[in-house]
Chains A and B, each alone.
Chain A
Amino acid sequence: MPDPTFLEIKNLAIDFVTETATVEAVKGISLSIARGETLAIVGESGSGKSVTGLALTRLLPEPPAIYKSGEILLDGKNVLTMPPRELRTIRGNKIAYIFQEPSTSLNPVFTIRNQIAEAIKLHRTDVRDIDGEVIKYLDMVGIVDPEKRLHDYPHQLSGGMQQRVMIAMALSCRPELLVADEPTTALDVTIQKQIIDQLRELKQRVQMAIILITHNFGIIGGLADRVAVMFRGKIVEYGETHTVLANPQHPYTKALIQCIPQPGQKRHRLTTIDHAALEAAV
């Protein structure tokens, strides 16, 4: 039986070095993902979630980013030592991304058809009917009348639709892993739910692992199999989602879980996180 773990992060540390300062964004984290699994990375702003996600295909701008130590093993091969040509066969093809801001993540001057087609042409040279394939994926992510939308530019679509296009583009190369970096943060609450539901449905349909990056514990229930909690560049808690939710060990995790609004529960004050106390605990 093949090893179900296909992506392994070992002791990864990343710095940002600028003329004025060095920021230790990620301080030696280890994670692993099995095929078809969904892992949530939860943490507050600036904790290093996006940096971790982008590092998986070495997408951080270098400089200022420096991969200080550790390795990222994809099917046993270290991504961080791959030549650019080989990296490009992973990006989009094995690991695909969707980002927080769909409105700026799509290229404003190309039609959505062209942007999805570009990905397909890069990685699936055998596809003949490119328009058909684009339509298939637009349809899959719940875009009505995809044929009519092909020649739209991103600004002609709503935020939720733009994010669906991003998902379609990510899926179109049939990646083994989808990294969704705060895919709903920029969207309306109602649209947020639709996108999360869409991801949940897609997860059933296509065999694909997902890394869901979020600062909101509220959206991961029912979607993530496991969860890693990040705080200041470190993983402070890592385990099965239901275990962590039911019985958080780390004070930071407890604080985050407290922040989830409970329906029916009336609260007069939003919980705030006491950083000084946490700092002492970490």
Chain B
Amino acid sequence: MFSYLIRRLLYAIPILFGVMLITFLLFFVVQPPYARARAILGEKARPAQVQQWLHDHGYDKPTYLNTKPGQHLFDSLFVNQMKRLITFDFGVSDKTSLPIAKTFTDGVIPSLCLTLPAFVIGFIMAVTLSLYQVFIRYSALDRFGVFLCVALMSIPPMIYMFVGQRVLAMQLNYFPAYGFDLRGWQTAKFVLLPVTLMIVMYLGNDVRLYRTIFLEEITQDYVRTALAKGVPQSRVLFVHVLKNGMISLITLVVAHLPFLIMGSLLLENFFGIPGLGNALIHAIQTGDAAMTNALVYLGALFYLAGLMLTDICYAFADPRIRLS
């Protein structure tokens, strides 16, 4: 198990390197720092000002290798940028000159306030509903459930958010329409609507998928054995089928867990939640390359962590799997 994890960690290195390379190309080659400096400082900025800005941000270096006489060969943009990402020393934002680390730590909590409850409640709801559908499988109600799922899936997320904000929040005044507050019940008040919307957006897809997984399980021989023992249908479903189905579900679900930290781009932006999704959108909109780069890199890191977590959970849930 331990050696397996070490091996997985080593596998992650080339992937992370690839991510760093791609983001570097996007943010430092497609738009070189000089062009960025001009964009941020304005067309009227004097050359000396631009030089100073580049120097302050450590961008006054050659792109890949430093071949200037008397300088260290690796004192280049690319190597320095990699060093920063690897050591989590992200430096300051291009735009505001505030530390990126602070933006990150400030954004995590609001993001999790949105994504964590949505994930947990949504998952429990999807499992329960899909198992219930399997319980009444092929009945009229089950078919109606499938229809409802497809309907939920077919509506674009923007419609949910728009209706939620305009109708439920602004016209009917059930919820605050915009904003966030990190003080106890205030938080709950502000995230209630976005959390609900997030659950609804994914519910149709999840229920349909889980239903398929459980329907597949229910045709297995061990289900017949359990029924032949006299185990009630409900126990067969919620104990035997659920535990087996979970093994398939885990691969789908656990991978998302660490990624929850990154928040939701759309919902945070729409409802003014100051989380990491919002920060990323803001960074992209204002051309804040350092911030975008750091957030994309962290996202990739969490994604890889999710994949690894999946394998570990797999080994715990399925006695047939030994990680080696």
Chain A residues within 8 Å of B, Cβ to Cβ: 54, 57, 59, 63, 84, 88-93, 96-97, 99, 101, 104-110, 118-119, 122-123, 153, 155, 166, 169, 173
Contacts and interface: CB of A to CB of B under 8 A. Distances in A.
Interface stretch (B110-118, B124-132, B189-197, B314-322): B314-322
A103 B173 CA distance: 59
Given A92-B228, A99-B221, A155 B244 contact: no
Contact of A108 (B138, B222, B228, B232): B222
A22 to B, nearest CB: 17
Contact of A109 (B227, B232, B244): B244
A59 B247 contact: no
Given A84-B233, A92-B230, A109-B247, 7 more contacts: A59-B224, A63-B138, A84-B232, A99-B224, A107-B240, A119-B229, A169-B229
A101 B221 contact: yes
Contacts of B227: 59, 91
Contacts, number: 74
Given A88-B232, A153-B319, A153-B320, A97 B247 contact: no
B246 to A, nearest CB: 9
Q: Is chain A's interface secondary structure helix, strand, loop, or mixed overall?
A: mixed
Determine which residue in B138, B221, B230, B244 has the highest number of CB atoms from chain A within 10 A of its CB, and name it. B230
Contact of B228 (A84, A91, A107, A123): A91
Contacts of A110: 240, 243
B323 to A, nearest CB: 16
Closest CB pairs A-B (n = 4): A91-B230, A92-B230, A92-B229, A104-B221
Interface string B222-260: 101111111111000000100110010000000000000
Contacts of B138: 63
A60 to B, nearest CB: 10
Nearest to B240: A107
A118 B231 contact: yes
Contacts of A101: 221
Interface of B: 138, 220-222, 224-233, 240, 243-244, 247, 317-320
B222 A107 contact: yes
Nearest to B222: A107
B143 to A, nearest CB: 13
B221 A105 contact: yes
Nearest to A90: B230
Given A63-B138, A119-B230, A155-B319, A109 B224 contact: no
Given A91-B227, A105-B222, A155 B320 contact: yes
B43 to A, nearest CB: 66
Contacts of A99: 221, 224-225
Contacts of A173: 229-230
B319 A59 contact: no
Contacts of A109: 243-244, 247, 317-319
Contact of A97 (B220, B228, B243): B228
A122 B227 CA distance: 12
B317 A105 contact: no
Contacts of B232: 84, 88
8 contacts: A88-B231, A88-B232, A99-B221, A104-B221, A108-B244, A122-B229, A122-B231, A166-B225
A107 B226 contact: yes
Given A97-B225, A153-B320, A155-B320, A104 B230 contact: no
A6 to B, nearest CB: 18
A96 B228 contact: yes
Nearest to A85: B232
| Most A Cβ at <10 Å: residue of B138, B222, B229 | B229
Contacts of B225: 97, 99, 105-107, 166, 169
B230 A108 contact: no
Contact of A91 (B220, B221, B229): B229
Nearest to A123: B230
Nearest to B221: A104
A118 B232 CA distance: 11
